[in-house]
């Protein structure tokens, strides 16, 4: 017999290894010896009150064996001589599109502008230490896409877009910890994800697919509303039958290419703002009610999620990284962009989060209307150039103490930071456009009321957080093809159809299934 149970375990009970077994036996009125196994399906922490509770969702096996293997199996075929499908981009959408093509008996040929995960590290070091950005290899471009070196958070709300569990099981199949199958907010970590990504590449190549790095697509040849060839920056030309476009939210050259060829695009609403960085012990003290004391060793570095409506405009936390780092996420010199990441242990002494506000492409960008479908993109670029100038014309970022930002004062000093290129004090309260700066200042005040101690001079705000999602949408039909280019399948975050690793991976699978028909 198999029984499903919800268990609530307090912090003291969590320290007792057999407490789940005993509690399950008590609730079901059976002997512990009759329980042959307990499978944990979900684990979360409820820290709203001082008595912190661990919530477990479990399956209890009574007098029957518990399965030792996953119900998910991945049937990868040899596709060496199969029909090809070209995939532009090797982030989550491109990787999962390639894996799905192999399962369906098609040969994926992946073209990635950046480098593999190992070689990519040198270019990340150059950004942090030398303030030089390689246009094709950085925190956004390269094997695994932006997610590889940007934390590896796997939480998604896109539960109706595909089989979320299948994506998680596939990550475990390729070397991720099976803890991601259990945690309510699963996370791999930026130090662990590169190995998972390289394992996925090896699976693709082992079964006859191809992955080409430093292969930037620079042009399309279109005849009779179909792409018939791809031109690479190095001069090579590839004949193609079907193309999955999975280039991510920062591949601006692709948006310009499509726009120049009069291929339909649409401006898309998105969000922009700053990164806020607190000492992790401040966030732990607030969330775990232990201000002035170290958190219990069983508790992970505390996270938070905040949202407030300010003048009918949403202000909210985005990509919160407990025990993490702030990183430079620009994709070209002359711009400054910040993002956040955490290692698997989340043991850095800082917590950071994007705090962003909604930008409505239809109502807020009237000064940019002459850019047409690229108006939100041009607005985004202007803010990133502003950050570059006010940050000192390097990859150092403009920053301000949180309290000074809200009170409209220039900071005479800044707090310690995890941001390696360094900070430059700047009056972000007056530099940011009013719809962003004004909304954030009111939002931070409101957040300080919700989380007592959050509004503190110990925190810095760092600009700008501008790559939350694509500012451009590439339309597609019910068959997932572009309405004007019938063998082009816009995919993932770059097309406007995903908002993170998992949703992008699911969209990659969907596009592969559509292209393989």
* Secondary structure string (H, E, C) spanning 228-263: EEEEECCCCEEECCCEEECCCCCCHHHHHHHHHCCC
Instruction: Report residue 478's pLDDT band, with 50, 70 and 90 as the boundaries.
Output: very high
The secondary structure of residue 162, as a DSSP letter, is S
pLDDT at residue 68, rounded to an integer:
81
Do 213 and 308 belong to one domain? no
Tens digit of pLDDT for each residue in 460-470? 999 999 999 99
- Say whether 413 sits in a helix, a strand or coil: coil
Do 252 and 329 belong to one domain? no
Query: Within a domain: residue 70?
Result: no
Instruction: Report residue 490's pLDDT band, with 50, 70 and 90 as the boundaries.
Output: very high
Please give the Cα distance from 301 to 297 (Å, whole number). 9
> Which residues are paired to 58 by β-bridges?
5, 40
Judge whether 180 and 171 are in contact, CB under 8 Å.
yes
| Residue 505 CA: distances (Å) to CA of 91, 93, 149, 216 | 8, 4, 16, 21
Number of neighbouring beta carbons within 10 Å of residue 40: 15
End residue of a domain, out of 446, 465, 484 = 465
Percent of the chain having pLDDT more than 90? 90
Q: Is the pLDDT of residue 151 over 70?
A: no
Do 344 and 392 belong to one domain? yes
Please give the Cα distance from 165 to 149 (Å, whole number). 23
39: tokens are 């499978």
Domain count, the chain: 3
156: tokens are 């998604």
pLDDT at residue 1, rounded to an integer:
87
Do 335 and 454 belong to one domain? yes
- Average pLDDT, integer, range 314-324: 95
464 cis-preceded (ω within 30 degrees of 0)? yes
pLDDT at residue 189, rounded to an integer:
84
Please give the Cα distance from 394 to 435 (Å, whole number). 26
Judge whether 114 and 137 are in contact, CB under 8 Å.
yes
Q: Is the pLDDT of residue 159 over 60?
A: no
CATH number for the domain harbouring residue 18 = 3.30.70.2700
192: tokens are 């662990």
- Average pLDDT, integer, range 279-300: 94
Nearest CA to 460 out of 390, 409, 411 is that of 411
> Which residues are paired to 325 by β-bridges?
341
| Residue 348 CA: distances (Å) to CA of 125, 276, 279, 302 | 19, 15, 9, 12
Reported as half-sphere exposure (CB side, CA atoms, 13 A), residue 194 has a value of: 14
Which string of b and e fits 87-114 if b means at least 16 CB within 10 Å? bbbbbbbbbbbbbbbbbbebbbbbbbbb
Query: Within a domain: residue 470?
Result: no
Query: Within a domain: residue 308?
Result: yes
Judge whether 420 and 470 are in contact, CB under 8 Å.
no
End residue of a domain, out of 443, 465, 487 = 465
Mean pLDDT of the chain: 95
Query: Within a domain: residue 73?
Result: no
Do 302 and 336 belong to one domain? yes
Do 451 and 313 belong to one domain? yes
> Which residues are paired to 353 by β-bridges?
276
Tens digit of pLDDT for each residue in 386-416? 999 999 999 999 999 999 999 999 999 999 9
Tens digit of pLDDT for each residue in 70-92? 889 998 999 999 999 999 999 99
Q: Is the pLDDT of residue 152 over 80?
A: no
> Which residues are paired to 108 by β-bridges?
85
pLDDT at residue 17, rounded to an integer:
86
Q: Is the pLDDT of residue 160 over 80?
A: no
Query: Which helix (DSSP H) or strand (DSSP E) does residue 412 occupy?
Result: none
Query: Within a domain: residue 67?
Result: no
CATH number for the domain harbouring residue 120 = 3.50.50.60
Do 290 and 194 belong to one domain? no
Query: Within a domain: residue 158?
Result: yes
> Domain span at residue 162?
84-264+476-516
Q: Is the pLDDT of residue 354 over 70?
A: yes
Judge whether 159 and 168 are in contact, CB under 8 Å.
no
pLDDT at residue 157, rounded to an integer:
65
Nearest CA to 339 out of 314, 360, 356, 316 is that of 356
Please give the Cα distance from 481 to 485 (Å, whole number). 7
- Say whether 266 sits in a helix, a strand or coil: strand
Q: Is the pLDDT of residue 230 over 60?
A: yes
Query: Within a domain: residue 413?
Result: yes
Tens digit of pLDDT for each residue in 171-229? 999 999 999 999 988 989 888 899 999 999 999 999 999 999 999 999 999 999 999 99
Percent of the chain having pLDDT more than 70? 98
Query: Within a domain: residue 471?
Result: no
14: tokens are 């969590």
Helix boundaries (H) for 315-455: 375-390, 402-407, 428-431, 434-450
Q: How many residues does the chain have?
A: 517
State the DSSP string of 4-72.
EEEEEEEHHHHTSTTHHHHHHHHHHT--GGGEEEEEEEEEEEE-SSSS-EEEEEEEEEESSPPP-S-S-
Judge whether 24 and 35 are in contact, CB under 8 Å.
yes
Do 93 and 25 belong to one domain? no
32: tokens are 């512990």
Prediction pTM value = 0.95
Instruction: Report residue 158's pLDDT band, with 50, 70 and 90 as the boundaries.
Output: low
Do 114 and 236 belong to one domain? yes
Do 258 and 227 belong to one domain? yes
Do 219 and 97 belong to one domain? yes
Q: Is the pLDDT of residue 263 over 80?
A: yes
Do 188 and 315 belong to one domain? no
């Amino acid at each position: 017999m198999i029984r499903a149970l919800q268990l609530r375990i307090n912090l003291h009970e969590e320290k007792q290894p057999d407490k789940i077994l005993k509690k399950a036996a008590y609730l079901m009125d059976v002997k512990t010896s009759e329980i042959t196994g307990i499978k944990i399906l979900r684990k979360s922490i409820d820290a709203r009150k001082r008595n912190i509770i661990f919530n477990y969702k479990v399956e209890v096996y009574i007098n029957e064996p518990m399965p030792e293997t996953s119900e998910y199996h991945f049937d990868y075929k040899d596709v060496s001589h199969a029909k090809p499908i070209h995939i532009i981009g090797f982030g989550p959408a491109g990787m999962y599109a390639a894996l799905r093509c192999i399962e369906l008996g098609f040969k994926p040929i992946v073209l990635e502008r950046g480098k593999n995960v190992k070689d990519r590290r040198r270019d990340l070091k150059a950004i942090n230490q030398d303030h030089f950005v390689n246009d094709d290899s950085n925190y956004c471009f390269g094997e695994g896409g932006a997610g590889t070196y940007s934390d590896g958070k796997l939480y998604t709300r896109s539960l109706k877009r595909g089989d979320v569990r299948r994506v998680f099981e596939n990550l475990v199949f390729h070397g991720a910890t099976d803890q991601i199958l259990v945690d309510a907010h699963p996370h791999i970590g930026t130090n662990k994800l590169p190995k998972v990504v390289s394992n996925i590449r090896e699976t693709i190549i082992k079964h006859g697919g191809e992955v080409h790095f430093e292969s930037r697509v620079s042009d399309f040849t279109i005849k009779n509303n179909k792409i018939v060839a791809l031109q690479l920056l190095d001069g090579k030309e590839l004949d193609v039958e079907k193309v999955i476009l999975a280039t991510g939210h920062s591949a601006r050259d692709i948006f310009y290419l499509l726009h120049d060829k009069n291929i339909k695009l649409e401006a898309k609403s998105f969000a922009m703002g700053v990164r806020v960085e607190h000492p992790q012990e401040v966030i732990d003290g607030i969330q775990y009610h232990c201000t002035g004391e170290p958190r219990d060793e069983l508790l992970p570095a505390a996270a938070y999620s905040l949202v407030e409506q300010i003048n009918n405009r949403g202000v909210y936390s985005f990509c919160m990284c407990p025990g993490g780092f702030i990183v430079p996420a620009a994709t070209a010199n002359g711009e400054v962009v910040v993002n956040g990441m955490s290692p698997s242990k989340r043991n850095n002494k800082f917590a950071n989060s994007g705090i962003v506000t909604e930008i409505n492409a239809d109502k807020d960008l009237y000064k940019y209307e002459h850019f047409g479908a690229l108006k939100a993109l041009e607005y985004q670029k202007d803010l990133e150039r502003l950050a570059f100038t006010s940050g000192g014309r390097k990859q150092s970022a403009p920053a301000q103490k949180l309290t000074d930002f809200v009170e409209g004062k220039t900071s005479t000093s800044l707090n310690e930071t995890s941001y390696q290129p360094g900070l430059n004090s700047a009056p972000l309260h007056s530099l940011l456009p009013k719809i962003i700066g004004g909304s954030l200042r009111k939002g931070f005040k409101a957040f300080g009321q919700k989380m007592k101690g959050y509004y503190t001079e110990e925190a810095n705000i760092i600009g700008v957080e501008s790559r939350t999602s694509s500012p451009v949408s590439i339309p597609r039909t019910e068959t997932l093809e572009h309405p004007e280019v019938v063998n082009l399948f816009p995919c993932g975050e770059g097309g406007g159809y995903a908002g993170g690793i998992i949703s992008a991976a699911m969209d990659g699978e969907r596009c592969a299934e559509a292209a393989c028909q």
